[in-house]
Each structure stands twice: as structure tokens, then as C-alpha cells.
Structure 1
Amino acid sequence: MYSTKPSFVYGFHGIDRDAAIHILNQEDNFRHSNNSYDWLGNGIYFWENNYQRAIQYAQENSKRSNSTIKTPFVLGAVLDLGNCLDLLAQKYIDYLSIAFNVLEQYLERENKLLPMNSAFGKSDFDE
């Protein structure tokens, strides 16, 4: 049995045009997202095989008052999935369930609440 997914996928990243040009010219690197609402964790987010969703994200993000995206743009990349958390594979679904239980027990011992996701409100966008 293998533990890595032997495949490559196309990924698309919504970004500001000027930032994309700097990355393409190797003058800068992708910046890791580390927002409180990044429910998948810190990192660089790509839409797998979905250019349209990446540009939609960039356009929506550009409307936020604190957005760094002035001119919505999309960078494409060929990604090697390698050792990833594949939520279509049963062993990773099982792993996620175990990890959730461990987190829940830890937070209970620490007398802390489980984090909760919430949607963006109108306050996140210019009226």
C-alpha cells in the first residue's frame, strides 16, 4: 500500500496582479495566509483545477477594505500532491476524526471552547 498520492494537479491562486508579476520574476515569494478565519490553517491556498473560482476569490477579496488585491489576477501552478491530507481517502477521514477527538479532549482539560467557523459579515466588505 502507498502513503502518498502519485499525481499532479493544476492549482490556481487568486492574487494581486503586481504581486503575481513579482513572483513570476522571482523577486518575491508567495505569502502564507495566517488569518483567524483560515479554517484549513496557515498556508498558501490553491483551487484545484478551478481557474474560475480563483479569479472569483480574487475579485471578491479585492472588495474588502483591507485587501491587498487591487487588480485581481490568477497564478497557475502544477502541484505535486505528495504526502497530503486527502479527504477522499478513508484512512485520512479516520485520522481527522481521531485528531478532532484529541483536540476536543485537550481543550476540555484546558477549560477552553472549540473554535467555531463563521461566515464573513457585511463588516468585512465595503458597503
Structure 2
Amino acid sequence: MMDIHDFLHGAGLVFIFLGIGTIIVAGIGLFRLPDLYLRASAVGTSAGLGVASIVIGVLMMDFSWLNLAKAVVAMIAQLLTSAVGSMAIARSGYLNNSLPAEITHTDDLLKTRRDQHADSPDQSTT
């Protein structure tokens, strides 16, 4: 008969493999996606969701109150830093004139640029 520890161990393995799968898919996206912005999105998603899923899985396999506190701190830090980091990478690329893929049709950030504006007559094309 299956007890709670066996169930938690199995569920933990499922979460770990989901996290690994998320990271693998994002790694493939780094090679297949067409521009910096989509790649930064893939890395942010992978780092946030993939690592958080692995931490949840490990917590389920070896639960203790101390491990729960560590897992909560690790997940909050990982989710915050992955989102901020991927946005910083994308913003840096944008400010250094990294061109988006041709499938991108709008540029909503052009209005917020300090060095060039869409409606200014002295806009330089680089």
C-alpha cells in the first residue's frame, strides 16, 4: 500500500521533471527564437518557472520546516531576479539598437526613448 511519503516522493519527481522540461524547452528557444527580445523572454521564463518547479519538487521529496523556509526564500528570490534580469537584458539590447525580428510590427517603447523620438524631425536612422 502507498503511504504519504511515497506519494510526495512521486509528486516531487513530477515537479522536478517539469522544471527540467521547462529549462530544456527554453534552451532550445535560445537557438530557435529569432531575436534578443524573445530569447530574453525564454530565459526569464525558464529561470523563474523551471527553477521554482525544481525547488518545489525537492521540497516535496525532503520536507521539513527548515527546508520550507529555504524553499520560499529561494523561489521568491529566483522569480524576482529572473524577471528583472531578463527585462534588463531586453532593455539594454533595445537601448543599443538591437533590431527586433521582422515579425515585430509595433514599437511602443519608441515614445519613451530619450535619445530619439518617433515624431522628432531630427531622428537619425541607424
Q: TM-score, normalised by structure 2?
A: 0.26
Say which one has the larger Rg: 2
Structure with bigger strand share is 1
